[in-house]
Structure formats: structure tokens, C-alpha cells
Copies of this chain bind each other. A is one copy, B any other.
Amino acid sequence: MPAYATNMRLKFPILALILEIITIILFAVFVDYDDGKGHGHDSHSNETHHEEKPMDLYPMFQDVHVMIFIGFGFLMTFLKRYGFSSVGINLLLAAFGLQWGLLMQGVWHLVDGKIKINIFKIINADFSTATVLISFGAVLGKTSPVQLLIMTILEITIFSINEHLVATVLEANDVGASMIIHAYGAYFGLAVARVLYRPGLRNGHENEGSVYHSDLFAMIGTVFLWMFWPSFNSAIADPGLTQLTAVINTYLSLAACVLSAYAISSLVEHKGKLDMVHIQNATLAGGVAVGTCADMNIGPFGAMLIGLVAGIISTLGFKFLSPILASSVGIQDTCGVHNLHGMPGILGGLAGIVAVSLGKKEGGDPVMQAAALASSLGFALVGGAVTGFIMKLPFWGQPPDQNCYDDSLYWEVPEEEDENEESLAHADHSKNKAEV
């Protein structure tokens, strides 16, 4: 398979090191510690009466950090032979992405020509990586680390433009980022997946499935995401009661979403059994969908209604829509990000328009909310398509069809649990002993 050139030996290390060195140079020129003399963020500037200490947001940052690295990383370990890549490449992309995000988001908020880092900024940097990790889910198993690093650079750069537009120009509300992270990340990834469409996988792939324990690893990701989502949706909310509102709305939306996801999963599956794919993903849709409205006065029951609907839509999407997208639209969405982030993200954007129309957010403007949703989708689809074409260039080491969903192309994988199993594995060991 020389045409694929999946050997990463030179191209990956060189790209990774060059990117890191460029980043360090940019940090040397543009980045400094926050000295506490400026304001953390525009939205806080009216709150000067509230004395904030530098570390106040730190516990929330760590919750978000866990979502990014454990949550997203382990959620994708459900594939039977792709766990190393899921959690490992997730770490790589997020570690680079947060540095790049600090730069890309920071240029819009320079103080004395410098990006001043504080906890607020590193939360936002984590957020920017979330878009990449969502898109990663759409192309999981079908892309090389080099392709994914390229996606990271482009997706975060475009994200930062859209975020600036939505937050500063349109002044739209999206505290939990249903639109600018979830919908954006999902449709960006789906556009990439469409461009990278593989007819050879039309009939599935033997490795595109789970084993018992890989599904349990994935539940580690699910449960950490589920638990800490209130932190995600409230981390950058105004301190005090507004932040509390964001926590409570997210907590309740997620709780209601669990019930509807379980109910619909049982309803549509064979003999009323629950499907792990639904449980791992659709239970989280309530966190996505309540994002835009999280800090609004929608009432606890309003948050629960959003979660209830999100759980239903998401589960039905996995069952009925994903197969259609794959067969008829040419979008092979490995993790079903359309169901977890795409549709619930749009639902969140729409809920935000309605809530603002009903006056649930002081100073909100439903037209601007709609514009924010349209902008996020537009940047995602166009940016994702362009990024997809760049990723499709033939020298980034994209895996051939038969090696998709298989760690062993890019990782040293222990022999033992491989196909040859016990007998061969033992033979192998004696060989190792002889060699050492």
C-alpha cells in the first residue's frame, strides 16, 4: 500500500515539532501572565463590584479539563481496536489545540499588545479544543495523526473568528456554547467526513464495533462528561446567581435527558433492550441542548423539557438518521456526532431564540441569536469542507480502508490480544527473551 504512505516516521515528528516550536516563538512574543490589572473578559466588565480572585474559577476549569481529556478521550474508546488512538490522539490534539486556541482567541483581546493568560482564558482554550474533539468523533478511525493536526489548526482558527463574531459583533448569548462549539464542531466534522467519504466502507468494517470492555471504558468518558457538564455550561457565566442558574439548568436538563434516552432506546431496539451507543451518547444531549439557554431564566422545568426533547431526538437520530446519512448522503459519522452535538446543538440554538424572544435574558435579541446560529453553521460547513479538501491531499498518511479503526497502523500494539491469540503470543514471548 505505498500509495497511502501511512508510515509516520518523518512527517509526523517533523510536523509536531515544527508546530510546537512555532507556537513557543509566538508565545514568547505575544503571551504573558495576567497581572490582575485588566478584566478577564468583556462580559465581566460590568461586574467590577464583585471582587474576583485569580483562582476563583480554577475548580471549574479542572472540571472542564476532565471533560476534554477524560470525557472526550474515553467516550471514543468504544471501538474494539481503536482505544489507543481515541484516548491518545485526543490527548495530542487537545494539548496542541489549547495552545493554538490561546493564541487564536487571544488576538481579539490584546492588552498592551499581549495576550494575558488567566483561568478564564485557559477555560476558553479548553473550549476551543472541544470543537476539534467533536469533529474528531466524526472521522474517528479514518484519519492519520498528521491529518488531524492539520484539522486542529484550521478548525480552531476558524472557530475563533466565528466566536468573535458571535460574542462581540452579534453580541449573542451562548454561554454553554450549543451553537459555537457543539453545532459548529459537529457540522465542521460532518463536512470533513463528507469530503473524505470512503465508498469502500459503505458496507461497514469488521473493526467498527465494540467489545464488552471497550464499552465500559467508553462509559468512563460518558459519566465524566455527564457529571461535569454543569461546569462546562456555567464556567464563563457571570459569577453568582447567574452561574448558579446555569449549573441548575444543566443538571436538570441532563437528568431528564437520561430518562428519555433510556426510554427511546428501549422502545426502538429489539426486544426492548438498551443499546450502549445510545446510552453512551444520547444521555449527554441534554447538556448540549440547554447550553445556549443555560444562564437564562427558563425555569427548572424549562431546562428539563429541553433535556427530554434532546434525549428523544438524539436517540432517534442514532437509530434512524445515521444509517441514512451514511448510505444516502455519504457521511460516515463514526461516533454519531450529528446526534450528540449536531442536532442537539441546533435545538439549543433554537431554544435560545425562543427564550430570548420570551424575554428570558435581559438585553437579548432573538434576531442576533438566529444570526449566531446561522453564522456557526455557515462557518462550520464551509470551513469543514475546505479543511476536508486539504486533509484529502494524498501525502498526509491517510489509512487505507482495510486498516481503518485499527490502532496498529499508528501504534505499537501488544501482541497478546491480537488475532493469533494465545499460542502465538507465547511463542512471541520466548522470542523476546532470546532477543534481549
Interface positions of A (Cβ within 8 A of B): 7-10, 12-14, 16-17, 19-21, 23-25, 27-28, 31-36, 53-55, 58-60, 62-63, 65-66, 69-70, 73-74, 77, 80-81, 83-84, 87-88, 91-92, 95-96, 98-99, 117-119, 122, 145, 202-204, 206, 209-213, 215-217, 219-220, 223-224, 226-228, 231, 239-241, 243-245, 247-248, 251-252, 254-256, 258-260, 262-264, 266-267, 269-276, 279, 283, 297, 299-301, 304-305, 308, 402, 409-414, 416-417, 419, 421-423, 426, 429-430, 432-436
**A210-B418 Cα distance, complex, nearest whole Å:** 12
Residues of the B chain whose Cβ atoms lie less than 8 Å from the Cβ of A13: 262-264, 266-267, 272
Q: Is the CB of A259 within 8 A of B58?
A: no
Using CB atoms, name the residue of chain B closest to A283: B91
Given known A-B contacts A272-B12, A275-B412, A258 and B62 have beta carbons under 8 A apart: no
**A434-B244 Cα distance, complex, nearest whole Å:** 52
Apart from A12-B262, A32-B299, 18 more pairs, CB < 8 Å: A12-B263, A27-B252, A54-B244, A55-B247, A62-B231, A70-B227, A73-B219, A73-B223, A77-B216, A84-B279, A95-B255, A95-B259, A96-B259, A206-B433, A206-B435, A212-B414, A215-B414, A269-B412
Q: Is the CB of A122 within 8 A of B248?
A: yes
Using CB atoms, name the residue of chain B closest to A433: B203
**A63-B23 Cα distance, complex, nearest whole Å:** 28
Q: Is the CB of A276 within 8 A of B244?
A: no
